[in-house]
Amino acid sequence: MNNRKIPISVWAPFAGDVALRTGDRTLPLKRAEDGWWHLAEGLLPDTDYAFFTDGRGPFPDPRSMRLPNGVQGPSRTVDHGAFKWHDSGWRAPPLSSGVIYELHTGTFTEKATFDGVIERLDYLCDLGITHIELMPVNSFSGTRGWGYDGVGLFAPQESYGGPEGLKRLVDACHGRGIAVLLDVVYNHLGPEGNYLEHFGPYFAGHYRSPWGDAVNLDGPYSHEVRRFFIDNALMWLSDYHLDGLRIDAVHALVDTSAIHFLEELSAAVRRLEAETGRPLVLIAESDLNDPRVVTPTEANGMGIDAQWSDDFHHAVHAVVTGEQGGYYADFGRMEDIARACTEVFVYGGRYSAFRKRVHGRPVEKLSGSRFLCYIQNHDQIGNRAGGERIGHLADPGRIRAAAALVFFAPFVPMIFQGEEWGATTPFFYFTDHADESLGKAVREGRAREFAAFGWNPEDLVDPQAQETFARSTLKWKEADHEPHHATLRWYRDLIALRKTRACLKDGRLDRTTARFNETARWIAISRGELLLVCNFGQKEQCIPVKSASTATLLLWSPEAPVIKPSAILLPANAAAIISRKER
Amino acid sequence: MNNRKIPISVWAPFAGDVALRTGDRTLPLKRAEDGWWHLAEGLLPDTDYAFFTDGRGPFPDPRSMRLPNGVQGPSRTVDHGAFKWHDSGWRAPPLSSGVIYELHTGTFTEKATFDGVIERLDYLCDLGITHIELMPVNSFSGTRGWGYDGVGLFAPQESYGGPEGLKRLVDACHGRGIAVLLDVVYNHLGPEGNYLEHFGPYFAGHYRSPWGDAVNLDGPYSHEVRRFFIDNALMWLSDYHLDGLRIDAVHALVDTSAIHFLEELSAAVRRLEAETGRPLVLIAESDLNDPRVVTPTEANGMGIDAQWSDDFHHAVHAVVTGEQGGYYADFGRMEDIARACTEVFVYGGRYSAFRKRVHGRPVEKLSGSRFLCYIQNHDQIGNRAGGERIGHLADPGRIRAAAALVFFAPFVPMIFQGEEWGATTPFFYFTDHADESLGKAVREGRAREFAAFGWNPEDLVDPQAQETFARSTLKWKEADHEPHHATLRWYRDLIALRKTRACLKDGRLDRTTARFNETARWIAISRGELLLVCNFGQKEQCIPVKSASTATLLLWSPEAPVIKPSAILLPANAAAIISRKER
């Protein structure tokens, strides 16, 4: 029996009265000067409770450690000291030489739990993965969801396995040498189960986010709102031994403070890193194309370690699929891929026709290791009406050539669950809101959005349907069969090559060059002694690149290319990695 | 007769049709690819015209060069090449050794014109002023106004003397060695005479400013909106030979672009500086306490030359007057003055009780010359219900001691018109809206605002009344009589001392130290070999500072202080500047 008392406190600066109900007891909290309320004695571990503010309630604790009955139910205390970790001395591998695997706990396995993920860790090890990145596991409404509409930010989703399940997963990963990154959402909270307004001014009236009220990062009381999110980050890194966080949509964190929220967050994480001696990373999703996000604070940046590079994705996707709708209108040239590989941002201070404005600024003096590259992620698949993976949209050879770009580029490569075998399952947007009017609003919102792309509402899947979730679950047996297994081998080989060649991991943009032919649609990327040649044209062509005669390292091609000292004859939809020096 | 044609173009990206009416002729404009419309041939100088977009109008040109009949009337072409300048070879003195004089053209003299200002330039020269800073002269509604609700941003207010009048003033200033700075407002436009919405998306829907729609600096088409304001800045500096701009309320320029508007503006001004060889300065009014505004772009700053330091003002004002209402609640300690003089921001990353949040960040590695200090400006006087100058609020001796702080501090000193002789005239907020419902709204808004401070509406002046404006006009005869003349001599002496002592102009924060006694309320500021001692206490006191025995340089005191090697006996409400070295 664990008798350690868990302290209970809550910030409610405008409340005249805060009480807590546990079982049939109602206990008053005492107000401190700073707007915080404290329970005189803590609660025992695994105790359920809920708050009442000024007589209204019951509301779950904004910092619920566990929500065993979902986001509308009571909070349950957790003794984080009780879990038996086996990862003492664990140190995460550096991101710069990492290979990241993004996964959604609910659809990664049929089990739809953290324990389900554990069963696949040996497979991920074998593939060469160094970091897994979990889509949000904060508590969200229902049992099916991407997690970006989370409300219980401090409580791992119960249907995934709750606090214990997440700890078991992290511990198991560390046991296999895999680091764990977690996607966290600090720009808004979900609509269902969101009772924060009963506690304090968490939301700003002066900005709007695309997904609801923007979070109050620079108005009155913002110091406590910032603390709420920073404490959340520190909790994941401390109590759950996570190795880093991926911060969702930082462009929606509107903050005019002299010290931006991200800078304050990164400073807090740096302090924790120094205290624990564990390397910790912060990765931003940013639509700003602003290198300041990943510039060190010493150089007046925000101090985030790395960010996703959507420009790389869009550049490659538009060429591989030929799509030109929406934001792909800004891409489609071989030049765009070349820029993405050498300059990072295709739009680094240029006019974007899609955005109808000048976008971004050039990357200068930053390592390529500060950017993640990928040809698939949850958004780029799931935000399509049909949830199509790139494999549904283009020739397999072209996709494998695109994958070669991912692992050859001077960035940190990331793949999305099942990408490595060309999974046939879609990845839909799915929800499980209890409030059917909210479900209806989501359905209608998406119908409107996709009507602009010519979709009829009846052809769209219903995000609220169980089936939409079920169809998104990976079918692992696919991986054992061709052509999937060949794709898997290709990914394994690409990862293995990257791991063994220093020039592929050095992040040196200044040592990455690209040559291409816009009409013929080939591109050659050079890094150190290695050369990647991709033929995205419609037929075999002779690509004028210098190489050693005998040095084809990796090849995706229906036929072997003919390599001459000054050219390579490469079939359409093929890629070759060759050495420019004789061994 | 000047036959030079003035080109006419207008940006109207959504218009299907743009025409211009001049006299009884209607001329169509031709659309270019980029949303701009061009008149085939220009118009002769001094031609009146107005635009029609999609049949609606007439509207003045958003870039009207002159609005001879006010903001609702037609635009008039101006040939900027026609004015005869006499300032060839003019180079403005550096801001770091400058003394700035803020003035409002309408109330500076009875004439209420640019020509009226010219008549007082010899006086300003004699006082030691190096820069005048004009409150906004862009066209605003009516003939009386502060100018911050301007709408004709490219047309100097006609009632002040229009384009010719402003050029005469700048030319006359340069002839006397005085540089001219102009206050420009880029965060919003005024409500009356604002037809920009008929031309393009100048305003953002996603942010709100305190004064109306925020300007669209980061949404679709923002590149043209930014160009509108940057072209405006360049026009003042080029066509009007202005030496710099003071940019109003940059905290209301909400811009999440990777290249902030201010950085783009500063880069454009740097280019013009390089082209012309004339030193040009940009000064920001910023409520952000963010040193990044005045950090060079090379260090990831915004590249603005200097900014106003309201913390200095508030720190000194609260001590001198004892006021603790509103934002003065955050000030009032001697320590605040000490911090303001040595660290610039009193709130440089600390919790502000008034703002109810953490505010600002510390200033590091910046010269004090990047900050302007003052104990009075148009806002701090005019935004009070009674328009009281500091002279209406405190003992004259205390104010003169405060003035010594202004000229002794490691910043660029600025004074507000009439401050130098302790003018008795208030400086009210005044307007002259043609639309009486708008006038009523202004009146009622201010009544509401000041009701919180205990003011009855009947005790407030009417901003719309002619008398409110008239009462704000300086009475120059005051300056010839005591006690005003003594105050004027004190300011002259302080300015003269600053000009002759290098240590006062070096901007070295690291060589500025402050000692104070919170209870006794004295403060001693040391800069190089000089020491300023101020007694803000209620009685004479012995202040323990080391000084040379014979070296009182400047003194404001009813009686001479007794100076000992290790202390100075200084009466209440007195200040002494002494040398720490024997000559």
HEC secondary structure over B465-519: CHHHHHHCCCCHHHHHCCCHHHHHHHHHHHHHHHHHCHHHHCCCHHHEEEEEECC
Note whether residue B54 is domain-resident.
Answer: yes
Q: Which of A225, A309, A356 to mutate to test the interface with B (most CBs of B within 10 A)?
A: A356
Q: What is the CATH number of the domain that holds B571?
A: 2.60.40
Q: Does B206 touch chain A (CB under 8 A)?
A: yes
Based on the fold, state whether residues A288 and A335 are members of the same structural domain.
yes
Contact flag B357-A222 (C-beta cutoff 8 Å): yes
Q: Does B351 touch chain A (CB under 8 A)?
A: yes
Note whether residue A80 is domain-resident.
Answer: no
Contact at 8 Å (CB) between A244 and A92? yes
Based on the fold, state whether residues A158 and A292 are members of the same structural domain.
yes
* Distance from C-alpha of A132 to C-alpha of A416, rounded to nearest angstrom: 10
Residue of B nearest to A258 (CA): B290
Q: Does A477 touch chain B (CB under 8 A)?
A: no
Tell whether omega for the bond before A58 is within 30 degrees of 0, i.e. cis. yes
Based on the fold, state whether residues A446 and A563 are members of the same structural domain.
no
Residues 276..305 of A with a Cβ closer than 8 Å to B: which? 288-292, 295, 299-301
- Cα four-point dihedral sign B297, B302, B308, B311: negative
* Distance from C-alpha of A500 to C-alpha of A128, rounded to nearest angstrom: 11
Q: Which residues of A touch B355 (CB under 8 A)?
A: 220
Q: Tell me the catalytic residues of B.
A: 248, 285
Based on the fold, state whether residues A557 and A467 are members of the same structural domain.
no
What's the average model confidence in pLDDT over B458-479?
95
Q: Does B359 touch chain A (CB under 8 A)?
A: yes
- Is the ipTM, as predicted for this complex, more than 0.95? no
Token code pair at residue A108? 């990664």
Please choose, from the candidates A360, A346, A380, the residue with its C-alpha nearest in 3D space to the C-alpha of residue A289.
A360
First to last CA, chain A: 65
Q: Which residues of B touch A356 (CB under 8 A)?
A: 220-221
Please choose, from the candidates B345, B364, B304, B347, the residue with its C-alpha nearest in 3D space to the C-alpha of residue A298.
B364
Task: Give tens-digit pLDDT for B66-88.
Answer: 999 999 999 999 999 999 999 99
Please give the model's pTM, rounded to 2 decimal places: 0.94
What's the average model confidence in pLDDT over B559-564?
80
Note whether residue A408 is domain-resident.
Answer: yes
Q: A335: alpha, beta or left, given left = phi > 0 and alpha = psi -120 to 50?
A: alpha
Residues 218..247 of A with a Cβ closer than 8 Å to B: which? 218-223
Closest chain A C-alpha to B240 CA, distance in angstroms: 29
Q: Does A81 touch chain B (CB under 8 A)?
A: no
Overall size of chain A counted in residues: 583
Overall size of chain B counted in residues: 583
Note whether residue A72 is domain-resident.
Answer: no
Task: Give tens-digit pLDDT for B132-183.
Answer: 999 999 999 999 999 999 999 999 999 999 999 999 999 999 999 999 999 9
Q: What is the CATH number of the domain that holds A159?
A: 3.20.20.80
Contact flag A254-B251 (C-beta cutoff 8 Å): no
What's the average model confidence in pLDDT over B258-264?
97
Element of type H or E holding A209: strand A203-209
* Distance from C-alpha of B321 to C-alpha of B381, rounded to nearest angstrom: 13
* Per-residue confidence (pLDDT) for residue A575, from 0 to 100: 95
What's the average model confidence in pLDDT over B313-335?
96
Contact flag B254-A256 (C-beta cutoff 8 Å): yes
Tell me if residue A482 falls in helix, strand or coil: coil
Out of A467, A499, A531, a domain closes at: A499
| Number of domains observed in the structure of chain A | 3
Question: In the predicted model, what is the mean pLDDT of chain B?
Answer: 95
Q: Which residues of A touch B258 (CB under 8 A)?
A: 288-292, 349, 359-361
Residue B582 reports pLDDT greater than 80: no
Based on the fold, state whether residues A480 and A559 are members of the same structural domain.
no
pLDDT tens string for chain A (583 positions)?
Answer: 567 899 999 999 999 999 999 999 999 999 999 999 999 999 999 999 999 999 999 999 999 999 999 999 999 999 999 999 999 999 999 999 999 999 999 999 999 999 999 999 999 999 999 999 999 999 999 999 999 999 999 999 999 999 999 999 999 999 999 999 999 999 999 999 999 999 999 997 777 777 778 899 999 999 999 999 999 999 999 999 999 999 999 999 999 999 999 999 999 999 999 999 999 999 999 999 999 999 999 999 999 999 999 999 999 999 999 999 999 999 999 999 999 999 999 999 999 999 999 999 999 999 999 999 999 999 999 999 999 999 999 999 999 999 999 999 999 999 999 999 999 999 999 999 999 899 898 888 888 888 877 888 888 999 999 999 999 999 999 999 999 999 999 999 999 999 999 999 999 999 999 999 999 999 999 999 999 999 999 999 999 988 766 677 788 877 778 888 788 999 999 999 998 876 5
* Distance from C-alpha of A269 to C-alpha of A247, rounded to nearest angstrom: 13
Based on the fold, state whether residues A43 and A170 are members of the same structural domain.
no
What's the average model confidence in pLDDT over B18-26?
97
- Say which of B256, B291, B300 has its CB closest to residue A301: B300
Note whether residue B548 is domain-resident.
Answer: yes
Note whether residue A300 is domain-resident.
Answer: yes
Backbone angles phi, psi at A234, to 5 degrees: -65, -35
- Say which of A219, A221, A254 has its CB closest to residue B256: A254
Based on the fold, state whether residues A355 and A487 are members of the same structural domain.
yes
Based on the fold, state whether residues A495 and A518 are members of the same structural domain.
no
How many helices (H) and strands (E) are present in chain B, helices listed first?
14, 30
Closest chain A C-alpha to B185 CA, distance in angstroms: 19
Burial B401-424 (b: 16+ CB within 10 A, else e): bbbbbbbbbbbbbbbbbbbbbbbe
Token code pair at residue B554? 């400047």
Q: Three-state secondary structure along A295-346?
A: CCHHHCCCCCCEEECHHHHHHHHHHHHCCCCHHHHHCCCHHHHHHHHHHCCC
Based on the fold, state whether residues A365 and A397 are members of the same structural domain.
yes
- Say which of A258, A299, A349 has its CB closest to residue B300: A299
Q: Does A80 touch chain B (CB under 8 A)?
A: no
* Per-residue confidence (pLDDT) for residue A267, from 0 to 100: 98
Q: Does B362 touch chain A (CB under 8 A)?
A: no
Note whether residue B85 is domain-resident.
Answer: no
Q: Which domain holds residue A44?
A: 9-59
Note whether residue B230 is domain-resident.
Answer: no
- At residue B274's C-alpha, the angle toward residues B269 and B277, to 5°, is 110
Q: Which residues of B touch A296 (CB under 8 A)?
A: none
* Per-residue confidence (pLDDT) for residue A306, from 0 to 100: 98
* Per-residue confidence (pLDDT) for residue A212, from 0 to 100: 72
Out of A450, A467, A499, a domain closes at: A499
- Say which of B223, B256, B295 has its CB closest to residue A251: B256
Based on the fold, state whether residues A210 and A263 are members of the same structural domain.
yes
